Structure formats: structure tokens, C-alpha cells
């Protein structure tokens, strides 16, 4: 499963239960991020006990993208989590550090790690 | 509006001969046609400035994040849409200044002033950021709350300021809004 664009790539590896983001996610409107949110949701609803969202290859995301990620996590919290969710980011990318740490304020059960 | 009005510690970016400076003007239509131009320009401007910073480690990434948010805002809220966005990037010692100017109509000013007064208050921003993110997350549509500016000030220790002035060339009812972010390079890595 994958979504590919000129500027970004999102690939889901079923065996590793990991969705890897790379490139730059800077679309104009939230509506354009909707297919990304649906893709994350589909992966979350697959079998397995965990979903890892790996952003270590993602250089940029705009505030609309960060809002989309917030919405995905908020929905999981509201509907009741069926599996663990982990977000992986890069230590030396400041926007990732700030935004992913904030996501834990939305859902305390979210695991966040930085490499 | 007859006289220019500033909100926050806005500084004139036109008169510092010692600053490293990059200035760009581009038609809004060209951004609206190809949104990725915001990101491409942000990456270029950020890399251009970062070269001169002593601590280069990932400064370009953080600068590009900020510049992209400001450009996206300017393109979205510019009115009329056939105008231009003016970008000025300055570096003086370790201080980086990003100044983005675009046109807005008279009727946009009251809401903008209200937002600007809140955005220059760091305590408001820190308290409001998560609240707005939660509101966006629980809503079907994005809450129009200056999330881009909130994100910049919340993530980076930056000084945000605004200048609103009548646009002499844009006809009646048109104003120029400048949004300025000033930040120490040390806060970007």
C-alpha cells in the first residue's frame, strides 16, 4: 500500500506494521490531506497489534498536515483505540520534536520516539 | 486607512545596509496555480540564509518551516488575488528577520488586528495552540484561527509583529499587511 506524489511518498509495510513518510507534505487545504488521513485510518484498521508512523524520512510538513495528524489521533482516542500507535521522528528536526510531543497532549497513550 | 499602524515590535527592513538581504516579489496567481512554489521558495530562502549562520545544523529546515507557513498565509489571505507577495529575508549577526507583505481589503483589517494583538502575546499563544489543534481535530473543517502563525510562535522562540498601511498603488480599500518574524538563529536548531 502506498501513496506517491511528486514531492512525497507514503508506504505501508504490512509485515513491519509501519507506515513510512518521506519527502515534503505541504498541500494547500485540509481536504487535500484527507486521502493521507484515510490511508492512515485504513492501515490502523488492518490486523496487527500496533501501527508505527515513521516520519524520520519526512523533511517538511505544514500546519495543515500537522492538523491532519492531530485529527487522526483525536479520532482514535474518541472511538477507542484498538491497537497501539507509535510515532517516530527525528531528533534534529525541530518541527517534528515540537509537534509530535504536542500530540501526546491530545492522547496520552500515544507512544512517541525520536532517533 | 491613512496612517500606517504597527502591532508588536515591527522593525523597518529597508534600511539596514549591513544586513545580508534577499528580496523576492512574486505574483500571487503563480502560487495559487502551483502551491508547491511556497515550499520551493521557502527551501531556497532558508538555505540561502542558513549558509551564513555559524550554527548551521538544521537551521535551514526550521527556517523553511517558518517561511513556508508565512508564504502560505500570505497567498491564502491576499485580496485582491492579482497582486504580489513581497518577501524580504535578512540576516544580521545571529538575528534572522523574515518579512512578508501582501494586500488585504479594508474589511479584513478588524479581524486581522484582533488576531495580531493575540499573536504577539506569547502566553496567549502557548495556551491557545493545543486548544486550537483540538478544535481543528474535532471539527470537519479547519478552524480559521491563524493556526500557521500559532504554530510558528509556539514551536520557535520568535518575535512576531505586523504593519498595516494603505497601498498607494492598489486603489481605494486596499492595504498592505506586513507580517514579520524575528528570531535568533540559535532557536532554530
Show pLDDT as tens, one digit a residue, over chain B (189 residues): 567 899 999 998 887 777 788 899 999 999 999 999 999 999 999 999 988 776 666 899 999 999 999 999 999 999 988 889 999 999 888 899 999 999 999 999 999 999 999 999 888 888 888 888 888 788 766 556 688 899 999 999 899 999 999 876 656 788 999 999 999 998 888
- Beta carbons of A67 and B138 less than 8 Å apart: no
C-alpha closest to that of B13 among B186, B181, B189: B181
**Chain A hits for B68, Cβ within 8 Å:** 26, 60, 62
**Chain B hits for A6, Cβ within 8 Å:** 36
Q: Is A71 on the interface with B (CB under 8 A)?
A: yes
Burial zone of B149 (CB within 10 Å; 0-12 exposed, 13-18 middle, 19+ buried) = buried
Alpha-carbon distance A14 to nearest alpha carbon in chain B (angstroms): 27
Give the residue, B132 or A62, on which the prediction is more confident.
Answer: A62
Q: Is A106 on the interface with B (CB under 8 A)?
A: yes
Query: Does the domain at residues B25-188 carry the CATH identifier 3.30.565.10?
Result: yes
pLDDT of residue B123: 86
- Beta carbons of A60 and B64 less than 8 Å apart: yes
* Model pLDDT for residues A5-55, shown as the tens digit of each residue: 899 999 999 999 999 999 999 998 777 899 999 999 999 999 889 999 999
The mean pLDDT value of chain A amounts to 93
Q: Please report the domains of chain A, with CATH numbers, ordered by start residue.
A: 2-114 (3.30.750.24)
Locate the domains of chain B by residue range: 25-188
pTM (2 decimals)? 0.94
Amino acid at each position: 500500500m502506498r501513496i506517491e506524489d511528486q514531492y512525497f511518498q507514503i508506504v505501508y509495510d504490512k509485515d513491519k506494521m509501519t507506515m513510512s513518510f518521506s519527502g515534503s507534505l505541504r498541500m494547500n487545504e485540509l481536504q487535500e490531506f484527507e486521502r493521507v488521513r484515510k490511508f492512515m485510518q485504513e492501515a490502523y484498521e488492518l490486523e496487527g497489534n500496533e501501527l508505527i508512523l515513521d516520519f524520520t524520512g519526512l523533511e517538511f510538513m505544514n500546519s495543515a498536515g500537522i492538523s491532519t495528524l492531530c485529527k487522526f489521533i483525536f479520532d482514535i482516542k474518541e472511538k477507542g483505540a484498538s491497537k497501539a500507535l507509535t510515532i517516530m521522528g527525528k531528533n534534529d528536526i525541530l518541527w517534528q520534536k515540537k509537534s509530535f510531543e504536542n500530540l501526546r497532549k491530545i492522547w496520552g497513550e500515544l507512544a512517541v520516539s525520536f532517533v | 486607512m491613512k496612517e500606517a499602524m504597527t502591532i508588536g515590535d515591527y522593525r523597518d527592513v529597508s534600511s539596514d545596509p549591513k544586513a545580508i538581504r534577499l528580496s523576492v516579489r512574486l505574483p500571487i496567481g503563480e502560487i495559487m496555480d502551483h502551491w508547491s512554489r511556497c515550499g520551493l521558495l521557502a527551501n531556497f530562502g532558508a538555505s540561502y540564509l542558513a549558509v551564513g549562520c555559524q550554527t548551521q545544523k538544521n537551521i535551514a529546515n526550521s527556517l523553511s518551516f517558518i517561511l513556508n507557513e508565512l508564504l502560505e498565509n500570505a497567498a491564502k489571505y491576499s485580496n485582491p488575488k492579482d497582486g504580489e507577495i513581497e518577501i524580504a529575508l535578512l540576516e544580521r549577526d545571529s538575528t534572522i528577520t523574515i518579512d512578508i507583505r501582501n494586500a488585504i481589503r479594508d474589511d479584513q483589517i478588524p479581524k486581522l488586528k484582533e488576531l495580531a494583538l493575540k499573536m504577539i502575546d506569547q502566553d496567549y499563544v502557548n495556551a491557545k495552540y493545543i486548544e486550537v489543534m483540538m478544535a481543528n481535530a474535532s471539527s470537519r473543517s479547519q478552524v480559521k484561527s491563524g493556526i500557521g502563525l500559532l504554530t510558528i510562535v509556539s514551536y520557535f522562540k520568535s518575535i512576531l509583529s505586523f504593519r498595516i498601511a494603505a497601498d498607494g498603488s492598489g486603489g481605494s480599500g486596499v492595504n498592505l499587511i506586513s507580517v514579520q518574524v524575528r528570531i535568533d538563529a540559535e532557536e532554530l536548531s
